[in-house]
Amino acid sequence: MTRRKAPDLRVRIGSLELANPVMPASGCFGPELGAIVDLNRLGAMVTKTVFAGPRSGNPAHRLDESYGGMLNSVGIPSDGAAGFVRQLLPHYREWRPPTIVSLGGLSEEEFFVAAEQLAGVDGIAAFEVNVSCPNLEAGGHELGAVPAAVERVIRGVVDRVQVPVIAKLTPNVTSIADIARAAEAGGASAVTAINAVLGLAVDARTRQAKIGTTTGGLTGPAIKPIALRCVWQAARAVQIPVIGVGGIATVDDVIEFLLAGATAVQLGTATFTHPDTMVRIIDGLAARLAADGVASVSELTGALKVGPARHDLGGVLDASAPETGSPVPHG
Amino acid sequence: MGARPLPNVRLVKLPPAGPLAPHVAPPLLVEAPVVGNVPVARDYLRLTLEAPGIAASAAPGQFVMLTIAREGELAPVLPRPMAIYGIDRAAGTIDVVYRIVGAGTRRMAGWLPGERMTTVGPLGRGFTIPRNARSILVFGRGIGSCSITTLVREATGLGVEVTVVLSARDRDALIGAETCCEAGASVIEVVDSDGSSDPVRLARLLGHAGHTHDAYYVCGSHRMLELAARLAHHPVRGSTATHAEVQVSLEAHMACGLGYCHGCAAGRPGLPAETPLVCRDGPVFRWARTERQDAALADALAVGSDVAAGAASAPETAP
Ligand SMILES: Cc1cc2nc3c(=O)[nH]c(=O)nc-3n(C[C@H](O)[C@H](O)[C@H](O)COP(=O)(O)OP(=O)(O)OC[C@H]3O[C@@H](n4cnc5c(N)ncnc54)[C@H](O)[C@@H]3O)c2cc1C
Ligand SMILES: Cc1cc2nc3c(=O)[nH]c(=O)nc-3n(C[C@H](O)[C@H](O)[C@H](O)COP(=O)(O)O)c2cc1C
Ligand code: FES
């Protein structure tokens, strides 16, 4: 057998070239993970959402588990942009992959203040504008549901920074395609879909809402079909790349997102379950593409087959009941 | 229990830590073979994992994150924080004693010897024993009793006189007595079912022992924390020692255990900045009294009330 060339895992997000399409999801990663996982293997690193000024997070409990996933309402505690640059960014610089800084704000103005503070800072390769956090007491979520507001926020950030700007979209809207189009119109280099799905957990025994803020964001394998649908809808609506996120935990999951239209993927909850999932997936993806004879990972993007799957039964089905015997019940 | 905010309590990081301050020892990610998983009391099992690297560097009061999902499984998505109950450096193993309380621990009870489980540790900042300490008092209640055994062993090994109060709802649910006795500690077992765990009774018992300690440690009970604080800060009349150290090991729901997800913050809401993280800045904190509490206590003492008066009203936290 002849040795095939190793598959090309590189992907482009705007002017940014990534060594592979796998990166962490915002809030589910920090350089602290570098103590147990080789972060140099990642396509990129994504920070927790940074606000302009310092803010505290939400009351306990901030986490709860649910079937096939989890609810969180951490609420984006932040040291503020200055604190981030001083305390956390130096630790990102110790690793080779590009750092994508997630940017947050409760008002349009607050996004711009944060963008101005971080513009031109060494070691920031791109911004992911979080117009989608389900756990903020004001603004964030609603803002991400209004196309005109998303367009203004993205344009305002694009105007203030020199690196690619990615818009992170919420699934908690009627038409994610409209929001994706607004982000593209604002000048986004890519969109990330999706942030957490708004949920509620109840303790039947104590009659208490399990999460401190009552509602929280559902993440993990349970939301994968929703995320896939959103990626597919967003990818059909815009020309810019889509970064897929939501319930990814295996090589198959990654391939599914690529087929649905994603150029790259992010992993959040899966890193909690098995901290080295991203690295295992990068290895597994290369092996899988090689085995399938796929030369470049980008060949898969958007290659989803739709429409009724073809089964040629080579005959004509007769809908009338069989003459004898009783129908077999389906279990 | 979990991360219910401690009212009127200021948590002091111990030792002071910032983001990414070096761990006591860097944590490891290992696929640890199960060596044993056997019942030790009603609803309690002792899990032994082969993890020489963790055993080599684990310190008293540290914990591990145990992934419940087996290799190839995607859920349950969250790993479970578990205190390190015992360390056998020669054998290269660590022990965890856990109580079956929900879906995750129920699955743990099915783990078989030879299976490899994803384990991260040692994590967090554990207990510290003050230099020159001669005697310490350690409280453990319910599953909180599982966090103190490494401290007890370390302290007795240093020649410190250790008194351990173990508390539970009833006799069958008491855990850790044998381990603490073997280590050379004096053990007092108290239970709710005969009223002996009542803080006022316990305060009298401990007060009449006429003994003060250089440090007090608590895990698993807010009421015991109150009691320890009173004993530490206002010891029985005639004693000279005041303001002995109080350390408390807290619990919080966790996802990463490493300090990046911010799921486990310990403090009260409404503060301008993020509060300490139980996984990174704790789980052991130095306990500090607020002024309001000092005032309340001064009032109580002024009317000549019992040392522990009022402690009994604090809500109980452990099963
Ligand atoms: C630092 C630390 C050390 C601990 N050490 C021990 C120990 O040595 N022995 C022991 O039996 N238990 C210990 N616990 C508590 C243990 O983590 C919980 O009992 C366990 O997570 C329950 O999981 P479950 O799936 O059975 O329960 P469920 O109630 O089904 O769990 C649902 C979710 O809530 C979380 N959760 C539930 N109860 C707790 C709790 N008390 N603390 C933190 N998270 C919780 C779970 O991790 C899970 O994410 C410790 C907790 C912490 C934070
Ligand atoms: C604990 C936690 C914290 C999160 N924090 C943020 C955040 O700060 N900013 C953000 O844009 N998304 C945040 N998210 C959402 C994730 O980035 C991601 O969109 C979501 O978890 C879905 O992916 P997953 O199913 O792989 O986890 C957070 C998710 C979790 C579980
Ligand atoms: S558990 Fe993630 S920060 Fe503490």
Judge: A32–B271 Cβ closer than 8 Å, yes or no. Answer: no
pLDDT in tens, A262-317: 999 999 999 999 999 999 999 999 999 999 999 999 999 999 999 877 666 666 66
Closest-CA distance, A223 to chain B, in angstroms, reads 13
User: Going by CA atoms, what residue is nearest to atom 30 of ligand 1?
Assistant: B102
Cβ(A195) – ligand 2 distance below 6 Å: yes
Cβ(B203) – ligand 3 distance below 6 Å: no
Look at residue A129 and give its three-state secondary structure.
strand
Q: What is the pLDDT of residue B226?
A: 85
- How far apart CA B14 and CA A161 sit, in angstroms, is 40
A52 touches chain B (CB under 8 A): no
Cβ(A219) – ligand 2 distance below 6 Å: yes
Q: What is the pLDDT of residue B4?
A: 42
Collect the ranges in chain B with pLDDT lower than 70. Answer: 1-24, 208-211, 234-243, 267-274, 289-319
Closest-CA distance, A55 to chain B, in angstroms, reads 5
Q: Indicate whether A31 pLDDT > 90.
A: yes
* Residue B204 CB-density burial (10 A; 0-12 exposed, 13-18 middle, 19+ buried): middle
User: Which among A37, A87, A220 has CB closest to B77?
Assistant: A220
Structurally, at CATH architecture level, domain B11-22+126-313 sits in 3-Layer(aba) Sandwich (3.40)
Could you report the predicted ipTM of this complex, rounded to two decimals? Answer: 0.90
Judge: B3–A68 Cβ closer than 8 Å, yes or no. Answer: no
A70 touches B104 (CB < 8 A): no
Does domain B28-123 correspond to CATH entry 2.40.30.10? yes
Short-list A144, A139, A114, A128, CA closest to A245: A128
Q: What is the pLDDT of residue A8?
A: 97
Measured between alpha carbons, how far is residue B271 from residues B19, B205, B265 in Å? 18, 39, 12
Cis, bond preceding B94 (omega within 30 deg of 0) = no
- List CB contacts of A322: < 8 A, sequence separation 6 or more: none
pLDDT in tens, A161-216: 999 999 999 999 999 999 999 999 999 999 999 999 999 999 999 999 998 888 89
The strands making up B135-141's β-sheet, listed across from edge to edge, are B9-12, B284-289, B245-249, B215-219, B135-141, B161-168, B186-191
Cβ(B44) – ligand 1 distance below 6 Å: no
pLDDT in tens, A47-99: 999 999 888 788 878 899 999 999 998 887 888 999 999 999 999 999 999 99
Please report the DSSP string for A180-197 in residue order.
HHHHHHTT-SEEEE--PE
- List CB contacts of B84: < 8 A, sequence separation 6 or more: B54, B58, B62, B63, B64, B94, B95, B96, B121, B122, B150
User: Which among A48, A58, A272 has CB closest to B79?
Assistant: A272
Q: What is the pLDDT of residue B24?
A: 66
The strands making up B28-41's β-sheet, listed across from edge to edge, are B80-83, B63-66, B116-123, B28-41, B44-50, B93-99, B86-88
Q: What is the pLDDT of residue B176?
A: 94
Helices A224-237, A251-260: axis angle to 10 degrees equals 30
Q: Indicate whether A331 pLDDT > 90.
A: no
User: Going by CA atoms, what residue is nearest to atom 11 of ligand 1?
Assistant: B98
Phi, psi of A103 (to 5 degrees): -110, 135
pLDDT in tens, A129-171: 999 876 555 444 578 999 999 999 999 999 999 999 999 999 9
- List CB contacts of B256: < 8 A, sequence separation 6 or more: A28, A30, A32, A33, A271, A272, A275, B65, B263, B279
A115 touches A155 (CB < 8 A): no
pLDDT in tens, A99-137: 999 999 988 999 999 999 999 999 999 999 999 876 555
**Which amino acid is residue B5, in one-letter code?**
P
User: Which residues does chain A have within 8 Å of residue B258's beta carbon, measured at their own beta carbons?
Assistant: 30, 32-33, 35-36
Phi, psi of A180 (to 5 degrees): -60, -45
CB crowding A47-72: b at 16 or more within 10 Å, else e:
bbbbbbbbbbbbbbbbbbbbebbbbb
Pick from A218, A219, A265, A267 the residue to mutate for probing ligand 2's pocket: most ligand atoms within 8 Å of its CB: A219
List the structure tokens of A67. Answer: 């079937």
> Domain residue spans in chain B?
11-22+126-313, 28-123
